[in-house]
Amino acid sequence: MKTENQRLKERLDHVTAEYNSLQMQVMTLMQQQKPEEEDEDDKKKQEMAPRRFMDLGLATNGAEIGEEASLSSSERSKSPERKNRSSDDQEKNNSREDSPSEQGTKVPRLSPPSPRNLDQAAEATMRKARVSVRARSEAPMMTDGCQWRKYGQKMAKGNPCPRAYYRCTMAAGCPVRKQVQRCAEDRTILVTTYEGNHNHPLPPAAMAMAQTTSSAARMLLSGSMSSTDGLMNANFLTRTLLPCSSSMATISASAPFPTVTLDLTHSPNPLQFPNHQNHFQLPFPPHSSSSPASLLPQIFGQALYNNQSKFSGLQLSQDADPSSSVSAATAAIAADPNFTAALAAAITSIIGGAQHQNNNANTNNSVANNANNNNTNGSNNNINTSNFSEN
DNA sequence: CGGTTTTGACCTGCGC
DNA sequence: GCGCAGGTCAAAACCG
């Protein structure tokens, strides 16, 4: 028993060391990206004054964006002790009158962009942008490092599977919520939708998820400014992040909630969301010369943290051909719901940076390129769903 | 006993 | 204005 513990401890140390080295690589990459981002931010501040609040907000800490803001007026009025609903309602109404932008909190309407509307829509988008993760899992819920408390369950129209509502319980008043529902067409697919940003420190395992929604919101906001922009960003994302994956990043800036959907179900069929006509469909191409394999360690670094015990032996080499070694690694470890949660988080964390990078890059690389890439089949990365762990 | 889950009721926004 | 659907509340039940 004792020796076993010791062995486990050693193993943990080893894995931690590996993780740290990966983390270092991530930090290095982040710093390389940062100057470009800052330049971009400055440019934005000058050129697009209505978006300034975004830059300021996100520049501080993604996890803090919308802590207050994301508590909608109705949310705020619904204190734990809701003793007097009528007064609450009054307060609700007052707050709405005081801040018109609050009105769009529940359902941000991206109406025609007058400067003011743009401002409001952007703010609403920030608050309610969602990150949706589709992953195959037999487990009832993906483990993402946070503590969640179920506060409701509802049958959604058109889906025989109930939708469960969870709230983050790691800190009082944390506005982060998530919805978990199985896909109607394929019940092995678990759809987890995150909304809001944490207002508290997170355990390392949950750090990846912490920046998810704010990063997504940033991307969405940018994408919602113009559809071309959205395509561009998403296109860049797909070509950049998972060049060897057949997964899909689906971006919807449409009402009611702008959503980034990360499809980690490895379906090669780009028409798998027939009902989402407003989504940009973005199958990942198999290979791309512009795909920095250097980003992969960042993704996997985050993801691996949740899978230390399982993947401690995995070595990621930037020198190696990403389409071979990394895709093999992807196939091997992506078959875990915990991994997919972390991977999705990591991906969406990077989206923001990728987007900025892309904005800096030449804009030629947009729709035409996207069209070229759309039909590329990159399915060298099959996931064996039978390997899913049950938490 | 405290925290979590269940579940029916309620609230709110939207479309007609 | 009405009905519908999504989202949330909160009391009761459950669990460790």
pLDDT digits (tens, 9 = 90+) for A164-174: 999 888 887 78
Residue A252 vs residue A73, higher pLDDT: A252
User: From residues 60-79 of A, which are strand B contacts by CB within 7 A?
Assistant: 74
Question: In b/e form, how buried is each residue of A315-345, taking b as 16+ CB within 10 angstroms?
Answer: ebeeeeebbebbbebbbbbbbbbbbbbbbbb
Residue A165: predicted pLDDT:
92
The Å distance, CA of A160 to C1' of C3, is 22
Q: Which residues contact A64 (CB under 8 A, 6 or more apart)?
A: A57, A197, A199
In the numeric block, which tokens belong to residue A242? 């998972």
Residue A225: predicted pLDDT:
39
pLDDT over 90, % of chain A: 1
- Residue A318 in contact with residue A239, Cβ under 8 Å? no
The Å distance, CA of A18 to C1' of B3, is 36
Please tell me whether any atom of strand B lies within 7 Å of the Cβ of A82.
no
Helix orientation angle between A2-47 and A52-60, rounded to the nearest 10 degrees: 160
Please tell me whether any atom of strand B lies within 7 Å of the Cβ of A236.
no
| Average pLDDT value for chain A | 51
Could you identify the residue whose CA is nearest to the C1' atom of nucleotide C5? A157
Mean pLDDT is lowest, of A15-24, A53-62, A128-137, A342-351, for A53-62
Residue A29: predicted pLDDT:
62
* Overall residue count recorded for chain A in this entry: 391
pLDDT-derived band at A250, boundaries 50, 70, 90? low
Please tell me whether any atom of strand B lies within 7 Å of the Cβ of A153.
yes
Could you identify the residue whose CA is nearest to the C1' atom of nucleotide B11? A74
Please tell me whether any atom of strand B lies within 7 Å of the Cβ of A155.
no
User: Looking at residue A277, what DSSP letter applies?
Assistant: T
Please tell me whether any atom of strand B lies within 7 Å of the Cβ of A94.
no
Whether residue A20 has pLDDT greater than 80 = no
For residue A256, the tally of other CB atoms under 10 A from its CB is 11
Please tell me whether any atom of strand C lies within 7 Å of the Cβ of A156.
yes
